[in-house]
A and B are shown apart, each in its own frame.
Chain A
Amino acid sequence: MVNLADYKEMIIGSRVIEPGNSEKFRTGDWRSQVPVIDKSICISCLSCWIDCPDNCIVVDEDGLVDVKTTHCKGCGICSQVCPKDAITMKEDIA
């Protein structure tokens, strides 16, 4: 028999009351390449942040950018939009 979810534990209707809980779904597993940021070149212009489709560029305490690899799908957009070529895509074999 199939193992269906318990209807009593679900609120009525197809609703989700926990905002943004897709963070629990790790799209980083899809990736074959990962962006690597050379922080010595990064000028923190945030071009990669504004163009990341997956909201995976985070700004650290020093104002420099970092990659949230749990969700990065490795599309490579950040490496293309970086005006300083500070981001390179490297093969990512998990």
Chain B
Amino acid sequence: MSSKVGTDIAINGDGAVALAWKQINPDVVAAYPITPQTIIVEDFSKYVANGEVDTEFIDVESEHSALTLCSTSSSAGARTFTATASQGLAYMWEMLPITAAMRVPVMMAVANRTVSGPININNDHGDVMSARDTGWLSIFAENVQEAYDMSIIGPRIAEHHEVQLPILVNLDGFILTHAIERMTPLDTQHVRDFVGEFKPLYPLLDTDHPVTHNLMDGPLFYFPHKYQMVVAMNKALDVAREVFAEFAKISGREYHMVEEYRCDDADYIAIVLGSSFGTMKQAVDNLRDEGMKVGVAMPRVYRPWPADEIAALCKGKKAVIVMDRHLSIGAYGPMFPEVCASIAVNGKMPEMYNFIYGLGGADTMVSDFMSVYKTVEAGKANTINYLGVKE
């Protein structure tokens, strides 16, 4: 294999996303600044100013217009990216299900940040979890390298002609967006070869074949149109596996639907999203040293939900702990019921525990995560637990 990787660089997560975008060279980027996403569009607009990309970069007046502009630009036939976080994603919300139903493969980086109120700029997954039912694909990064890699993998899944759904690429606000880490980029030509030419379906700009986009559906058609999206999501499971395998060939970096760490012989496993996966690996190592058989896993792909992999992962465990960095107030964390359902429909239930943690950027340390396992092992855990809150 020829060397397809570049030299290691030190870069923050936002910069890594912008670098991936530069290498992909999209036709259109439209975005509105919001912490902690802003560095992505700042860095990218520098590439535009220096003529390093062919992109039309549009500074819109709001996130609602940003996503609107992206959805119609993609419908028109242009590869189109955007980025947002928190209130920005909330302000876009009306356009999230519309964009997905338009069946356009817009890619959006989400610098995960909590949602007001109270206003808070730090990390949790409240923003992206509000988007989980809208028909977008959603993938998570553990570190800066993965924020870069997922930005290259994202369009390949989204733009597949049997998928054609927009995709959210999640990276934890500040923890990844602003943290400088060492990363190995690919060289630009290999990125472009991997991502390939954008081949739109039914582009609006093909005026010789006039297509009307986004009509009004009556009850006979709305549900079938939604079901088409179900079919596309199911297909995306296969497509993601294929794209991960292909990416491994050019990068040497292997990704899976669910990333596992020391789960095989573990009695107790936790399931977590994003950068906390890395922190929890350290907690697992520490506890293993103490003789506890524990493991941790991260759903790389959150939508489509990899139910089969989750069920297989949890099979035969004494307990499964679901770590949610968001809370459906009055119910559980958002991932907990999904993990429970995945196991329940496939067989025998282990003990199930839900830990809500880290809201609004509340620091969650290795020792905190160690206490999670210890609480469960000691039989002191409730079904739902609020890590760090003095109840």
Contact = CB atoms under 8 A, between A and B. Distances in A.
B330 interface: no
Contacts of B211: 15-17
A63 B130 CA distance: 61
A10 B232 CA distance: 14
A25 interface: no
A4 B220 CA distance: 5
Contact of A13 (B101, B209, B210, B227): B101
B202 A15 contact: yes
A60 interface: no
Interface string B202-238: 1000000111111111011101110110011000000
B213 A15 contact: yes
Contact of B231 (A2, A7, A14, A19): A7
Contact of B213 (A6, A13, A19): A13
B29 interface: no
B202 A7 contact: no
Interface residues of B, number: 26
B221 A12 contact: no
B9 interface: no
B164 interface: yes
Please classify the interface of chain A as helix (H, G, I), strand (E, B), loop, or mixed, using the class held by over half of its residues: loop
Contacts of B209: 17
Contacts, number: 61
B227 A16 contact: no
Contact of A5 (B103, B224, B232): B224
Contact of A15 (B212, B219, B220, B227): B212
A12 B224 contact: no
A14 B214 contact: yes
A69 B31 CA distance: 49
A34 B12 CA distance: 71
Contacts of A12: 103, 164, 201, 228, 232
A3 interface: yes
B20 interface: no
Interface size on A, as a range, is 10 to 19
A11 interface: yes
B102 interface: yes
Contact of A14 (B101, B164, B219, B232): B101
B221 A5 contact: yes
A12 B210 CA distance: 16
A14 B223 CA distance: 11
Contact of B225 (A2, A14, A17, A19): A14
A13 B214 contact: yes
A10 B227 CA distance: 11
Contacts of A17: 202, 209, 211
A2 B215 contact: no
A4 B202 contact: no
Interface string B178-220: 0000000000000000000000011000000111111111011
A14 B213 CA distance: 6
A17 B210 CA distance: 7
Contact of A6 (B210, B217, B224): B224
B232 to A, nearest CB: 7
Contacts of B221: 4-5, 10, 14
A4 B227 CA distance: 11
A12 B226 CA distance: 10
Interface in B62-111: 101-104
Interface in A1-48: 2-7, 10-17, 19
B219 A2 contact: yes
A19 B209 CA distance: 8
Interface in B221-273: 221, 223-225, 227-228, 231-232
A15 to B, nearest CB: 5
Contacts of B215: 14-16
Interface of B: 101-104, 164, 201-202, 209-217, 219-221, 223-225, 227-228, 231-232
24 contacts: A4-B220, A4-B221, A6-B224, A7-B224, A7-B227, A10-B224, A10-B228, A12-B164, A12-B201, A12-B228, A13-B102, A13-B104, A13-B164, A13-B202, A13-B225, A13-B228, A14-B216, A14-B225, A15-B215, A16-B211, A16-B212, A16-B215, A17-B202, A17-B209
7 tightest Cβ-Cβ pairs between the two chains A and B: A13-B103, A7-B224, A19-B210, A16-B212, A12-B103, A14-B215, A7-B227
